[in-house]
Chain A
């Protein structure tokens, strides 16, 4: 055991700079001679640009330049290409209409960037942007995905008839039809999974610096971006500017929350990179919150019809899902993948469902593009499944807890091949489910419900189970679904003469504490204190290969790469230790004793320590024949399967029918994330994920005017986020009994769990509370106004 190693609740090593105000986020970085940028954005949901007059803006104090899409076209800057080209039915790939970083001719959502203003100060740039005159010809817009899919809907792109991006299918139809034909019970649900906005607290920000002489750091262009994926940004920018990939350097310094939304390529990155090359001055752009609401990618926005077939005993026979998913005005980086490959892959959830067939129509709408936001496709799938299960319980009269127990995939059935493709390696769903019921004191719920009723309050108990495709990798699978990149990750370890280690990974930490947890893996394996390990991430100039941090992948993929690179280091170190000890290599044992590594001749007290070996191999005074100096190894991990994180979520709500205000009394998450590296960090991830799931269920909703496409919820004053006094404390536990079988650490991703399960568990609790009062059809978010109205309507109906 290592006192600071795997499993130890080590305090976060990164905290000190954040606690003292010394974090370095993009907006904190000041470059010599920098100019400031502001964007002119479309006020219309759909409009043709007849012309742009920059005269007044150019005359505005401090304004240095104004650029439009035409200027970028003249320089042949390439389009914003999605990372995934999703294969649709009948061998057709998705429609991928060109998307330009600055509009060329037509804007298709409120907030689309149409011009860049560069000025000496930020306020001068913002003032200049006000003075750019755009001659707009407004066009009819289609905003709601159910409208956009209709035949007579306004069309967004000539390349995409019917506003169809892609029609995607998964599973096999015939067995599902057959299951429904022989079913004793059939249930169906109509679901709106509403649009939400991530709202990381740090608004996006970009700095770009370039010079023809490559003066700054030898790169043609260097970009600092508040991104989770510097390597993807390097790829996109180099392709758009037609530069060699290694001529572009992308640095992601401290990033103030990512949640998937910052894991994508945005127009501002390429616009600033291009303009910095034209002006040969560093350019900086920091998003305002109001432009973040109309330019950060949104999420969810599904309309789904789903049906479940059951036999007489309540065993699931078949599942049929039909979903309309809004991709927004354009296909963004991962936008088309989320509602297709990602969503449909987890439609079996924790249940044994012999036949599943899903069809998704990803559809263009005159809104901000949607893309991955924490959970990304998995919350939508969990919600569909859990709603069907609860509906089935209601319709068949089988208790909802019992119905789930009858249908969970038992631990003995693992590995389990689902009918939608994935094979789960491990998972003991029933065990975690029962544990959540114990932690939530389900047995005592009727008494608490009765007690609350005495005070005129209504209680409900909710439960949900999710399975998450985490540890996003297998490049092989990504390739099958049209990815334009590999999804492995890298670790490069360099050992100094004093035995200290520098580890470089292609991931990025924006709250996940990689500088603590990654070294914990390495410290355990090598046998050094954490203080001897430094981690470098988020800089393509120092870490040449990487994929980034999203999809609960960092520890699974980069952590495993660290483990593998450490193995290579130990192989060489053992050889040298044998040489130093004049023993046979086979007799050398590497052991970690009280956290310190040593190489010992087995069965003797003859040994050399890790620092001694490190010094010997780096000084290279006496190496065995053929051995190169220094310990420096790298590894690339690309697993054979995703990891299948899963968990039970339970909660209890209390509604005041007089006001419609709902209080969450308790929230329980029991997670299987395989091996836990740092329980304190895991708690933080789990809590945060639950909070964001509760956010969607209780408070958050992106509301567009269905006709005009204006976003009503465009600030923190009208888009409600969870706050300290609207959330409960959480009870969270992990169950380590089912480690992952296809990575060396046994870990599964842990970043998204509660965000996936909470919308379903909260909805379960709300319906449990209100259905006895005749309330039906109540949907998220459960705002006081909506709940109060639903209760009043039910009362009126009962009276009539």
Chain B
């Protein structure tokens, strides 16, 4: 399989990676760019641990070839926090029991980021529906839902 040169922007930085055509976006992020915050949990697009934003759209990076992201702007969990701090959403996850083992957390943060960009004032039902592409085995989701609702309120207040 021929190698491909893939240029893309990740968390605001221009990157150039040479990779086989079959390289998945999640593998490019994790293995080539060492951005290991993006997790592999199922490789079938059903757990959401690999969620990232590609040109502002929520994408499961295990279902996207890296070459498909050529020229795109990708945001991963590493790109969410302001330097040395936490974003309001991240702060709310910490304050409202939004995480335990941490493995699903990057994916939930990305899904919640996408939701709040689209709907700054979601109901609990809307939050639950927006997060139904992501699996968490630790929290029972109650803490995650509370975190997202709190973040929505905080962000609206800003």
Contacts and interface: CB of A to CB of B under 8 A. Distances in A.
Interface in A721-745: 721-727, 729-730
A23 B106 CA distance: 10
B137 A692 contact: yes
A200 B137 contact: yes
Given A687-B139, A724-B128, A512 B100 contact: yes
A400 interface: no
A12 B143 CA distance: 13
Contacts of A201: 39, 41, 47, 49, 101, 103-104, 135-137
Contacts of B139: 684, 687-688, 691
A202 B142 contact: no
Contacts of A104: none
Interface string A251-271: 000111111000000000000
Given A256-B103, A716-B47, A723-B135, A202 B39 contact: yes
A516 to B, nearest CB: 11
Interface residues of B, number: 55
Interface in A13-72: 14-23, 25, 27-28, 30
A532 to B, nearest CB: 21
A538 B108 CA distance: 26
Contacts of B144: 724
Contacts of A28: 30, 36
A150 interface: no
Nearest to A259: B137
B141 A727 contact: yes
Contacts of A199: 137
Given A680-B97, A716-B47, A724-B128, A20 B142 contact: no
B134 interface: yes
Interface in B78-113: 78, 80-81, 86, 90, 93-95, 97, 99-106, 109
Contacts of B137: 198-201, 257, 259, 688, 692, 721
Given A16-B94, A724-B144, A257 B101 contact: yes
Nearest to A512: B100
A57 B137 CA distance: 37
B116 interface: no
Contacts of B38: 21
A687 B142 contact: yes
A286 B148 CA distance: 31
Contacts of B81: 19-20
Interface string B23-42: 00000001000111111111
A199 B131 CA distance: 18
B46 interface: yes
Nearest to A19: B90
Contacts of A123: 22
B155 interface: no
B123 to A, nearest CB: 12
The residue in A201, A511, A690, A715 that gathers the most chain B C-beta atoms within 10 A of its C-beta is A201
A435 interface: no
Interface string A705-725: 000000000011100011111
B46 A715 contact: yes
The residue in A687, A688, A724 that gathers the most chain B C-beta atoms within 10 A of its C-beta is A724
Contacts of B90: 19-20
A12 B140 contact: no
Given A202-B41, A717-B44, A727-B140, A21 B36 contact: yes
Contacts of A27: 36, 40
A729 B96 CA distance: 13
A289 interface: yes
A510 B125 CA distance: 29
Nearest to A287: B40
Interface in A148-186: none
Nearest to A730: B142
A202 B101 contact: yes
Contact of B140 (A19, A22, A688): A688
A18 B104 CA distance: 9
B102 A511 contact: yes
B118 interface: no
Interface string A685-701: 00111111000000000
B61 interface: no
A29 B33 CA distance: 14
Interface string A276-290: 000000000010110
B101 A256 contact: yes
The residue in B39, B138, B145 that gathers the most chain A C-beta atoms within 10 A of its C-beta is B138
Contacts of A256: 39, 101-104
Interface in A400-418: none
B74 interface: no
A11 B94 contact: yes
Contacts of B35: 21
A715 B42 contact: yes
B141 A715 contact: no
Contacts of B127: 724
A683 interface: yes
A691 B77 contact: no
B139 to A, nearest CB: 6
Contact of B41 (A16, A255, A289, A690): A289
Nearest to A14: B102
Contacts of B104: 201, 256
Contacts of A20: 37, 77-78, 80-81, 86, 90
A511 B100 contact: yes
A723 B132 contact: yes
Contacts of A25: 36, 39, 103
Contacts of A548: none
A716 B93 contact: no
A750 to B, nearest CB: 13
A441 B72 CA distance: 54
A201 B137 CA distance: 7
Contacts of A688: 100, 137-140
A19 B99 contact: yes
Given A22-B78, A25-B103, A512-B100, 12 more contacts: A12-B94, A12-B99, A19-B102, A28-B36, A201-B47, A257-B103, A680-B97, A684-B143, A691-B139, A716-B135, A723-B131, A725-B131
Interface of A: 11-12, 14-23, 25, 27-28, 30, 123, 198-203, 254-259, 286, 288-289, 510-513, 680, 683-684, 687-692, 715-717, 721-727, 729-730
Q: Which 4 pairs across A and B sit closest by C-beta, in order of nearness? A: A21-B37, A256-B103, A18-B102, A691-B140
Interface of B: 22, 30, 34-44, 46-47, 49, 76-78, 80-81, 86, 90, 93-95, 97, 99-106, 109, 124-125, 127-129, 131-132, 134-145
27 contacts: A18-B102, A19-B81, A19-B99, A20-B37, A21-B106, A22-B78, A23-B102, A201-B47, A201-B104, A202-B101, A257-B103, A259-B137, A511-B100, A684-B139, A684-B143, A689-B140, A690-B140, A716-B46, A722-B140, A723-B132, A723-B135, A724-B129, A724-B131, A727-B140, A729-B142, A729-B145, A730-B142
